[in-house]
Amino acid sequence: MEPATSKWAGVMAEHTVRAFTEQLEALASSVAQMGGLAEAQLADAIDAIARRDTARAENVVANDRKVDELQQQIEELALKVLALRQPMAVDLRETLAAIKIAGELERIGDLAKNIAKRAIVLNREPPIRLAQSLARMGSQSLAQLKAVLDAYSDRDPDSAELVWKQDGEIDEMYNSLFRELLTYMMEDPRTIGLCTHFLFIAKNIERAGDHCTNIAEVVYHMVTGGHLAIERPKGDTTASARIEKKD
């Protein structure tokens, strides 16, 4: 039955390659979808602040569940691929990248949920001028997320590197906002409660930007096999900022 055996081998090899490719594609597609969801959540959370839209904020909180579910699905699919296909080289890097990126996106989703929760609190108080600065910082984070997800879909290491380098802008906006909030609080202690919520929201937005650079590192490694430099220049100096009262 010699000819029949090689016929079987031919048919099966074809099926194996096709099924494997389809699984890798399904993985990439799921990551892109999860990315889209994270983008929508972050965008809605920031809108909830900029437009004082509490209903939108509540939607964000409710939808966080979907983000978590997608992450679990991606992990399960990736584990199947690893266990049964034993991928190598770029396929292996792609599978690992999917797991890592899903993790980062889940964190971004959580940050969006926390921002939304605080937005609900903020919207009960009278509007504060600094909300616009916060919205601009949020837009910058969103732009980073969009750019890095595009880099993933396009398998483009140069765009990933650009995202990685640009995180400094968000850090600078955060520093600026931090100092201004301190000034606000010192001038009028009645605003301390409100300003503290602001600080947490700003910190969350800044953290979201950091997660984007993590995704950029993963994308770069996935495509090239190399690493972006270990030390990324960090612009956030608030951890060591001194607080001085001006007379």
Partner 1 sequence: MMSNSANQYAVYGMNRDAAFWAALRRVLWAIAAALIVGAAAYTWLGFRGLAGAVVVTSIAAISAGIGERRQPAATAEEPAQADLTVLSPLAREMLERLPDPLLLVNGGDRVLFANGAMREVIGVGIERKHISAVMRTPAILDALARTAHTGEPLSIEFSVRVPIERHYKAFTSRVSADPSVVMLLLHDLTAMKRAEQMRVDFIANASHELRTPLAAVAGFIETLKGPARDDPEARDQFLDIMGTEAERMRRLIEDLLSLTRIELNEHVPPRGDVSIEAVVKQAAAALAPLAKADHIAITVDCPEPVPAVMGERDELVQLFQNLIHNAIKYGRDNGEVKISLRQQQAPGRRGPETQVVAAVKDDGEGIPAEAIPRLTERFYRVDVKRSRERGGTGLGLAIVKHIVNRHYGRLQIESRAGEGSTFTIVLPAKKGAEKPADAGVTELL
* Tokens 């999917």, located at residue: 98
Instruction: Please say which residue, 121 or 235, places its beta carbon nearer to partner 1.
Output: 235
103, two tokens: 């993790």
* Tokens 């992990």, located at residue: 75
Q: Which stretch, 3-11, 93-101, 107-115, 202-210, contacts partner 1 (CB under 8 A)? A: 3-11
> Which one of residues 159, 204, 213, 214 is an interface residue with partner 1 (CB under 8 A)?
159
* Site for partner 1 contains 65 (CB under 8 A): no
Interacting positions 4-43 with partner 1 (CB under 8 A): 4, 7-8, 10-12, 14-16, 18-19, 25, 28-30, 32-33, 35-37, 39-40, 43
* Chain centroid offset of residue 5 CA: 49
* Site for partner 1 contains 88 (CB under 8 A): no
Closest approach, Cβ 211 to partner 1, in A, equals: 16
* Tokens 């990736």, located at residue: 78
d(CA 220, CA 97): 10
d(CA 165, CA 234): 10
d(CA 196, CA 178): 10
Closest approach, Cβ 139 to partner 1, in A, equals: 6
Q: Which stretch, 116-124, 157-165, 194-202, 224-232, contacts partner 1 (CB under 8 A)? A: 157-165
d(CA 160, CA 156): 7
With 0-12 / 13-18 / 19 or more C-beta atoms within 10 angstroms meaning exposed / middle / buried, residue 88 is exposed
Instruction: Please say which residue, 47 or 217, places its beta carbon nearer to partner 1.
Output: 47
* Site for partner 1 contains 182 (CB under 8 A): no
